[in-house]
Amino acid sequence: MVSKEYPRIGEKIYHAELPNGLHIYVDRRPEFQKSYAFFATNYGGMDMKFRLDGQWRDTPAGVAHFLEHKMFDTEDGNALQDLAANGASPNAFTSSALTGYYFESTEKFCDNLKILLSFVSIPWFTQESVDKEQGIIGQEIRMVEDDPDNQVFYGLMECLFDHHPIRVPIAGTQESISHITADTLYACHKAFYTPSNMILTVVGNVDPVHVADLARRILPREGGPVIPRDYGQEPAQVAAKETRMAMEVSAPQFLTAYKCAPAADGEDYLRTAVLGDMACDILLGDSSHLYQRLYEEGVINTSFGGAFEMMPGVAYLYAGGDSKDARRAAAEIQREAERLAAEGIDEDYYQRVRRASFGSNLRGLNSFENIAVTLTEGYFHGYDPFRFPQVFDSITKEDVAAFLRRNLTAERAVLSEIVPREN
Angle at 263 between CA 286 and CA 198, to 5 degrees: 100
- Whether 287 is in a domain gets the answer yes
Q: Are residues 351 and 294 in the same domain?
A: yes
Are 274 and 391 in contact by the 8 Å Cβ rule? The answer is: yes
- Whether 150 is in a domain gets the answer yes
Q: Are residues 19 and 153 in the same domain?
A: yes
Beta-sheet strands, E only, within 106-241? 198-204
Q: What is the DSSP string of 91-118?
A: EEEE-SS-EEEEEEESS-HHHHHHHHHH
- Whether 275 is in a domain gets the answer yes
Catalytic residue annotation: 68
The residue among 169, 203, 218 that closes a domain is: 218
Are 125 and 185 in contact by the 8 Å Cβ rule? The answer is: yes
Q: What is the DSSP string of 46-96?
A: T--EEEETTEEEE--TTHHHHHHHHTTEETTEEHHHHHHHTT-EEEEEE-S
Q: Are residues 188 and 331 in the same domain?
A: no
- Whether 323 is in a domain gets the answer yes
Task: Dihedral sign for Cα 196, 108, 101, 184, please.
Answer: positive
- Whole-number Å distance between alpha carbons of 19 and 25: 15
Q: Are residues 201 and 293 in the same domain?
A: no
Are 180 and 61 in contact by the 8 Å Cβ rule? The answer is: no
Per-residue model confidence (pLDDT) at position 77: 83
Can you give the CATH number for the domain in which 50 is found?
3.30.830.10
pLDDT (tens place) for every residue of the chain, 423 residues total? 999 999 999 999 999 999 999 999 999 999 999 999 999 999 999 999 999 999 999 999 999 999 999 999 988 889 999 999 999 999 999 999 999 999 999 999 999 999 999 999 999 988 899 999 999 999 999 999 999 999 999 999 999 999 999 999 999 999 999 999 999 999 999 999 999 999 999 999 999 999 999 999 999 999 999 999 999 999 999 999 999 999 999 999 999 999 999 999 999 999 999 999 999 999 999 999 999 999 999 999 999 999 999 999 999 999 999 999 999 999 999 999 999 999 999 999 999 999 999 999 999 999 999 999 999 999 999 999 999 999 999 999 999 999 999 999 999 999 999 999 986
- Whether 50 is in a domain gets the answer yes
Total number of domains in the chain: 2
Q: What is the DSSP string of 239-298?
A: S-SEEEEEES-SS-EEEEEEEEPPPPSSHHHHHHHHHHHHHHHHHHSTTSHHHHHHHHTT
Per-residue model confidence (pLDDT) at position 27: 98
- Whole-number Å distance between alpha carbons of 208 and 211: 5
Sheet holding 198-204, edge to edge: 2-6, 11-17, 23-28, 198-204, 35-41, 99-105, 89-94
Q: Are residues 70 and 169 in the same domain?
A: yes
Q: Are residues 303 and 182 in the same domain?
A: no
- Whether 231 is in a domain gets the answer no
- Whole-number Å distance between alpha carbons of 34 and 204: 6
- Whole-number Å distance between alpha carbons of 363 and 328: 35
Q: Are residues 141 and 17 in the same domain?
A: yes
Q: Are residues 288 and 321 in the same domain?
A: yes
Task: Give residue 234's identity as a one-letter amino acid code.
Answer: E
Q: Are residues 169 and 36 in the same domain?
A: yes
- Whether 224 is in a domain gets the answer no
- Whether 226 is in a domain gets the answer no
* Cβ-based neighbours of 25, under 8 Å, separated by 6 or more: 13, 14, 15, 199, 200, 201, 202, 375, 379
Q: Are residues 261 and 114 in the same domain?
A: no
The range of the structural domain enclosing residue 159 comes to 2-218
- Whole-number Å distance between alpha carbons of 143 and 155: 16
Q: Are residues 153 and 290 in the same domain?
A: no
- Whole-number Å distance between alpha carbons of 1 and 14: 6
Q: Are residues 281 and 203 in the same domain?
A: no
The residue among 185, 218, 251 that closes a domain is: 218
| Buried/exposed code over 2-38 (b: 16+ C-beta within 10 A; e: otherwise) | eeeebeeeeeebbbbebebebbbbbbbbeeeeebbbb
